[in-house]
Structure 1
């Protein structure tokens, strides 16, 4: 991944960024940092290890489980199908996934995209004695047994992994393709994201894979998968800083994707309640004034993507350890490169 110098201060900014990343240096689980401005890579570096057993170092090619950062790709898949005329965002969910209980009858695809559905959290209703990983279809089965919602659909906001798991199934039903294959053909390959995958056991192996870890009694312990890690629509995509640079450059200057879809994904759709400042959810993105971002937290991984549209600045910080959440650190690094102070 070439790094393009923009002015004589960039070397100092790179050094200061590396200093802020000091906790990820060394022989523990690491992180990948990427800084883009005007679509150009200004800084890209890996820190620490992707795999403690093989001692494989993190670099720009290392693929991390994105967790909820995956939601922006699920949302774009739905938008592509709307653009194709195959579905509408205001379609009732029941049109695509029949058999859900009466309490969900007014839920639409738009409600799922914007966390306005009120669907119950599937993680709170795992089958007793579950000893294998759930798939997206298992989430649907769980929700078919829950005839209630947290609020009338469309009336409020509550972050919902359930909704995005169902959206992956809608993509499959509407496209006639497996979710992973639709993403590969319609998003990842056209954008040159050749090593990005929605991971399935029968799919391609994840090249340059980072494994997740947690610290226990002062030692790092592999903690890479949970019972919900195979659910794809809400968090099952693996990608690297290099591939995400291509994605972010496309959002900055759409050339492959229709610009109208990028604008739609990044437009405020549903107010986020409980925040201290003005905040909305778009379609797979959290939106504040002058700022679009999304984090991804799952067992063994903590990630964040942040965009500053006015400064045309993007920050990617991916890590394969269960703490800390990197949003605050990414904001501090962004401030070095001209973003507003957090």
Structure 2
């Protein structure tokens, strides 16, 4: 899954481990053999520390209790992945976009029942039948903008911005009538970011920073820029070697949050406390969630309901994945919202979802 079919951050997070198995702050207080078991998960996830790798973190009620990194953040310089390494979390950014819309709904600035056409200057006819809830839950029937741009001959190696994506979406007709079925499309969240900008009159990144990152003390940034201080380089495996992978595309809303694994699990505690958004936002995360059926089968997630930028599992836990430019991330929150796990990688790592499951099992019991 790229940022497509999947579902900001200055460096400076205190490094707690350079190699897998070195515990982060508070880990020893947890007791037991959790640190060593977690270290083993990382060694299995990244067998060789000489190539690209992953960072992982576990949060308990807002505190990072374990974090580690293994592998190289930059093969050219030999810079190692540590807990301070920044990654593009790709589609795991969608939860911030959905929560921004829920925040505005709670302030009566918009309604999830509003048609998309309300927020467009010259809306196509079909936009009058698509609601914000359809966009949030991926039931709009709108084609993914990445496919639309590529149909026009715009490759991921060519420059393309937010307006290019929106223009391509509005010029095409949806594949299905709205509300009929779940169909994951990044177009939905690019359009939701546009809605936030139209309602607030400010750049989407500035709104998210003011309303979420700053109040929660999160060292994150929403930026589609490739070069972010402390960020890992991303790679594709090709012919037995690793090739740098980057794109000049600059869309946001569907992705573009830059952060560390540790900051991501710190953010997760808002799903427990409702510190930003209160009970109304927390209720909105799962309200109206729609069944994904077997759409995501084969991607590590076989069932669940898609809520506000996250998948709600049958046991009540939350999960999402993200993939873009060689970056891959898995984010999970326990059913009781007390424990969260993030695994972020800078090359394809097919076991990162399984690693997140194992870490959550180790630390939530």
What's the TM-score once normalised by structure 1's chain length?
A: 0.89
Q: Check conservation: 2:218, 2:266, Cα contact below 8 A.
A: yes
Which sections of structure 2, spanning at least 5 residues, go unmatched? 1-13, 15-24
Aligned residue for 1:323?
Answer: 349
Q: How does 1:279-294 map to 2 (within 5 A)?
A: 279-290=304-315, 291-294=317-320
Alignment CA distance shift 1:338-1:256 (3 Å): closer
Q: Does structure 1 residue 33 correspond to structure 2 residue 53?
A: no
1:139 has 2:159 as partner: no
8 Å contact kept, 2:106–2:280? no
CA distance, structure 1, for counterparts of residue 71 and residue 363 of structure 2:
23
Aligned to 2:198: 173
CA RMSD of aligned residues (A): 2.2
Partner residue in 2 for 1:237: 257
Q: Secondary structure at the match of 1:21?
A: helix
User: Cα–Cα, structure 1 residues 82 and 268, in superposed 2: closer, same or farther, change >3 Å?
Assistant: closer
Shift of 1:179: 1.0
Structure 2 counterparts to residues 290-305 of structure 1, below 5 A: 290=315, 291-305=317-331
Segments of 5+ residues of structure 1 without an aligned counterpart are none
Q: Secondary structure at the match of 1:221?
A: strand
> What CA deviation, in whole Å up to 9, does each residue of 1:175-216 have, x standing for no partner?
11111111111111111113x111145x9x622111111111
Identify the match of residue 110 of structure 1 among 133, 141, 145: 133
CA contact (8 A) 1:4 1:40 kept: no
C-alpha distance in 1, partners of 2:257/2:74? Answer: 18
Rate the CA distance shift 1:242–1:120 in 2: closer, same or farther, 3 A: same
Task: State the alpha-carbon separation in 2 of the partners of residues 143 and 283 from structure 1.
Answer: 21
Q: Distance in 2 between matches of 1:258 and 1:326?
A: 31
**175-184 or 319-328: bigger deviation:** 319-328
Q: Is the CA contact 1:164–1:234 (under 8 Å) kept in the aligned structure 2?
A: yes
TM-score by length of 2: 0.84
Distance 1:206 1:73 in 2: 19
Offset of residue 337 of structure 1: 2.7
Q: CA deviation at 1:7?
A: 4.4
Following superposition, the deviation at residue 321 of structure 1 comes to 0.6
- Give the equivalent residue in structure 1 for 2:231: 209
Count of residues in Structure 1 that have an aligned counterpart in Structure 2:
331
Per mean C-alpha deviation after superposition, the further-off stretch among 49-58 and 294-303 is 49-58
* Divergent runs of 4+, >4 A: 275-278
Alignment partner of 2:57: what SS?
strand
Distance 1:87 1:226, change over 3 A: same
Q: Which residue number in structure 1 is paired with residue 111 of structure 2?
A: 88
